[in-house]
Structure 1
Amino acid sequence: MERRRIEIMDTTLRDGEQTSGVTFTGPEKLTLARLLLEELQVDRIEVASARVSEGEFDSVRQITQWASEAGLLSRVEVLSFVDGGASLEWMEATGARVQNLLTKGSLNHLTHQLKKTPDAHFREVEAVLRMAAKAGMESNVYLEDWSNGMRNSREYVYEFLEFLQGMPVKRILLPDTLGILTPSETGRFLSEIRTRYPLAHLDFHGHNDYDLSVANVLEAVRAGVDGLHLTVNGMGERAGNAPLASVVAVINDFLPEVEIGVREAALYQVSKLVSTFTGIGIPANKPIVGDNVFTQTAGIHADGDNKKNLYFNDLLPERFGRKRKYALGKTSGKANIQKNLQELGLTLTEEELKKVTARIIELGDKKEKVTREDLPYIISDVLGSGAFPQKVFIRSYVLTHAKGLQPSTTVALEIDGKHYEENARGDGQFDAFMNALRRVYQHLKKPLPSLVDYAVRIPPGSSSDALCETLITWRSGEKEFITRGLDSDQTVSAIKATEKMLNITA
């Protein structure tokens, strides 16, 4: 059976940028445009709204210049308006060649926002479409608030669709602008339009106000649409748009008759980059791209994975360039711990494993967070036999911080029984500490891992004198790992986390 090809249009750079507090810089937009088209291989990208700002103009011009050189200009789209051709002039100046013209898809919007009759609106829309065609530009048309139009003014929607059949329009874009559709409505409305206009190219643009966007997209595809509008991490106004990663996985796993060109292996990489650019974290339980979605917590699940992968589903992490993890906590069993020990290359006897399991459960009951990197220390502490002997000790340090003076640190280390001492300055106490540490390791001609991320937090519900928890992410070669320190002093907790790193890499 020949598979039906669906276009994926990513609108992170346009509709996604309407997320409250989010603005992409020009270089960020260009970087994401290249990743979306070249690495992720979406079919089209919507990159901006016309006439918004000078910065937007420069961003679009950079993208179109690159896209033109790469032979991808026809896949770059800009939201335009029924404004007598002003948007088209703006686009012409940026080098953009595809407009997504925003029109009114419900009688309610037309009557109360534009205060115009359908005939007057259609004449203005026609004028813009004719101008675009004359300028050699391609036109797609958004029917804004189409979903409410189908609910409350269906006659108007069909009058508009009928009018568009005679216009120079490539695609008709049908948005659930306010995220009000149910899956059954989505399927019914789109099937109806598909039957009436079998040759029209229909795109569905879903919003997530009721958390139904992925389900609605699924029904839209089943109803026969030709394209979907999605955003990375589900970014967008209010509750956001239909999320790209989830939709790609759903189509690939549940609609074998449909083909899309998106590379699953690049989804996580692009998701993390968008999160970095926007400063909006990805929820740990967000499907496909969340930190916890490929983490087994219960010991029975890890045991089942050892026995014919009983707790695996089709969402294998390797599809998305990720790995399965096994969390350590009060619900951990021996199987969870064994999985983590294998990653560290450590082996324990059955009796030793029981003792370590008991300690991890004890820590979990106290809401302590146990990571794989903590295991060697727990083993050493529990067994008291030097199963993972500590080679590096931070024996003492002096931290100075005074107004008008650069912070400095003197640190004394013991490495394999030998004593080392260095002093250094830095932008802060921990920076000075790391600079002193680097001097020691430069003397030893040993590289130190680079610091990727540094997070300090106080556990929820704690008083002002509660312990600080510092989580530091390090990179050594291609591998990233996290170490954790706990102390009432923020800098000291970071030093404890650093001592763990020194021993892991010793």
Structure 2
Amino acid sequence: MTKRKIEIMDTTLRDGEQTSGVSFSISDKLTITQLLIEELQVDRVEIASARVSEGEFEAVKAVMEWAESNGYTEKIEVLSFVDNGVSIDWMVNAGVRVQNLLTKGSLNHLTYQLKKTPEQHFSEIAQVIKVSHDKNIETNVYLEDWSNGMRSSREYVLQYLDFLATQPIKRVLLPDTLGILTPSETFDFISLLRSKYPKLHFDFHAHNDYDLGTANVLEAVKAGANGLHLTVNGMGERAGNAPLASAVAVINDFLPEVEINLIESSIYKVSKLVETFSRVRIPANKPIVGDNVFTQTAGIHADGDNKKNLYFNDLLPERFGRKRKYALGKTSGKANIEKNLQELGLKLNDDDLKRVTQRVIELGDKKETVTQEDLPYIISDVLDSKLYEEKVVVESYVLTNSKGLRPSATISVCIEGKLIETNAQGDGQFDAFMNALSKVYDEKNLTLPKLIDYAVRIAPGSDSDALCETIITWETENKTFITRGLDSDQTVSAIKSAQKMLNII
């Protein structure tokens, strides 16, 4: 069976740039255009609006010079206006060969914004199309507010399309400008136009005000739309446009009779680049491209993945150039830990695995972030604790560090069931802690080992809230040994390391 081809037009650089606070530079626009066409292989890219600014002109000119030298001029489009040829001159000077002419798709817009009759509007549009044709510029026509037009002034929309069917244009672009359509309306409206105008090429342009953008895209294609307008990361005015990643996944998975050229494995790379250039963060739970969407958190899910991939669906991360992750935290089970250990090339026996799992859960309960890179430190910490019986416990402590005063520590230590409390000052919080500890051991006529090395490290690539491992080297008359402490707070991890020392001696 021959599949029906759907064109994908990306409008991140035009409609997506209307996201509040976003402005792409010349180099941004050029780089993103190159990626969209050569990496993602979208069919067309709408890169700008005519007449906006001198900077926009220079950006379009740079993109068109690149497109000309690489044979992509027909893939680059610019929004233009019915303005007595001003937009056309602007495009000719910039080297543009395809215009998307903005016109009125509802009687309300025509009557109250332009204050013109349909006949006046159509006459002016015909003149723009003729001049564009004479200047070798291909024309697509936007019906702004088309969705409201279909609801409230359908006769006008059909009258307008009757006129456009007589014009030398390539595509009719149908925007849901205010994002008001339901999926059933989208299907019904486009089905009606498809049956009445079988020779016209219709693009559908969805906005996401009700979070129905992707659903409406699906129904538009089912109804016979020939093309779709999408944006990377769903960028756009207000709630944004239909997101490219979701729309492509939905079409590929649910409409087997349809074909799109776009390369799925490049979606994530382009998405992250646009995030960087736009400075608009991708929500962690955004389908396909969000940080969390391929992360299993619950231990039962990781266990199910080990047993015939019970929690997999068709949205496999590898399709989009990504990998599945297994979160570490309070809902982690042994299966989560095992999955992460496999990634690191590590294996533990059942007893050690249980102990490591319990430690990860404890850390998660304290709302501490645990990453795969932390696991070797946690394993080291847990396995160290098996080497001795815990007879000494630092029950509580108060550490102070104030401007103009020496740091101090008040501690309570339980030694073989007896609680001892004392305080001391020092050159730093941990030094004050160790001085207080020395006072406790002096009272018992015991000598503490000498601290001869103190090292702190966090996992490579970690953030400021990462787990911190403090490694302390101690020396007695008879031996030198090392203890490790693990916590998100550097001083606390040092105290934990010192407690291990107390039990070893």
Q: Would you say same fold, with TM above 0.5?
A: yes
- What's the offset of the Cα at 1:486? 3.9
2:370 is aligned to 370
1:339-389: per-residue Cα shift (whole Å, max 9, x none)? 0011111111101111111111111111111111111111111221699xx
Does the alignment pair 1:227 with 2:227? yes
CA contact (8 A) 1:23 1:278 kept: yes
SS of match in other structure, 1:179: coil
CA contact (8 A) 1:144 1:175 kept: yes
Aligned mates of 2:59, 2:196 — CA distance in 1: 40
2:168 is aligned to 168
2:433 is aligned to none
Aligned mates of 2:489, 2:367 — CA distance in 1: 16
Aligned mates of 1:375, 1:167 — CA distance in 2: 66
Matches within 5 A, 1:35-434: 35-384=35-384
Q: Aligned pairs, how many? A: 412
SS of match in other structure, 1:346: coil
Aligned mates of 2:3, 2:168 — CA distance in 1: 28
SS of match in other structure, 1:332: coil
CA contact (8 A) 1:455 1:471 kept: no
Aligned mates of 1:33, 1:253 — CA distance in 2: 26
- What's the offset of the Cα at 1:88? 0.4
1:127-171: per-residue Cα shift (whole Å, max 9, x none)? 100100111110000000000000000000000000101111100
CA contact (8 A) 2:22 2:278 kept: yes
1:252-311: per-residue Cα shift (whole Å, max 9, x none)? 000000000000000000000000001111111100001111111111111111111111
CA contact (8 A) 1:380 1:386 kept: no
SS of match in other structure, 2:80: strand
SS of match in other structure, 2:203: strand
Change (3 A) 1:279 1:303: same
1:8 is aligned to 8
1:463-496: per-residue Cα shift (whole Å, max 9, x none)? xxxxxx2699xxxxxxxxxxx984499xx99xxx
Unaligned runs of 5+ in 1: 388-417, 422-432, 435-447, 457-468, 473-483, 494-506
CA contact (8 A) 2:327 2:336 kept: yes
Aligned mates of 1:488, 1:285 — CA distance in 2: 31
SS of match in other structure, 1:147: helix
1:7-31: per-residue Cα shift (whole Å, max 9, x none)? 0000000000000000000001000
- What's the offset of the Cα at 1:420? 12
CA contact (8 A) 2:368 2:488 kept: no
SS of match in other structure, 1:253: helix
| TM-score (normalised: structure 1) | 0.78
Question: Identity rate of aligned residues, in percent?
Answer: 70
Change (3 A) 1:270 1:67: same
Question: Larger deviation: 358-367 or 104-113?
Answer: 358-367
1:35-83: per-residue Cα shift (whole Å, max 9, x none)? 0001100000000000000000000000000001100000000000000
SS of match in other structure, 1:237: coil
CA contact (8 A) 2:369 2:466 kept: no
Change (3 A) 1:485 1:274: farther
Letter in 2 for 1:369: T
Letter in 1 for 2:371: T
SS of match in other structure, 2:195: helix
Change (3 A) 1:208 1:471: farther
Letter in 2 for 1:140: N
2:20 is aligned to 20
2:421 is aligned to none
Aligned mates of 1:147, 1:374 — CA distance in 2: 52
Letter in 2 for 1:199: K
Letter in 1 for 2:342: Q
Unaligned runs of 5+ in 2: 388-451, 469-485, 494-505
CA contact (8 A) 2:374 2:467 kept: no
Aligned mates of 1:161, 1:386 — CA distance in 2: 79
Aligned mates of 2:343, 2:7 — CA distance in 1: 40
**Structure 1 segments of 4 or more deviating over 3 A?**
418-421, 484-489
Aligned mates of 2:69, 2:241 — CA distance in 1: 31
RMSD: 2.5
Aligned mates of 1:153, 1:361 — CA distance in 2: 60
SS of match in other structure, 2:130: helix
| TM-score (normalised: structure 2) | 0.78
Change (3 A) 1:175 1:471: farther
CA contact (8 A) 1:48 1:56 kept: yes
Question: Larger deviation: 373-382 or 120-129?
Answer: 373-382
Aligned mates of 1:386, 1:118 — CA distance in 2: 85
1:61-111: per-residue Cα shift (whole Å, max 9, x none)? 000000011000000000000001100000000000100000000000111
Letter in 2 for 1:151: R
Letter in 1 for 2:142: Y
Aligned mates of 2:467, 2:376 — CA distance in 1: 17
Change (3 A) 1:27 1:303: same
Letter in 1 for 2:175: P
Aligned mates of 2:142, 2:177 — CA distance in 1: 10
- Kindly name which structure, 1 or 2, has the bigger radius of gyration based on alpha carbons: 2
Letter in 2 for 1:290: G
Letter in 2 for 1:228: L
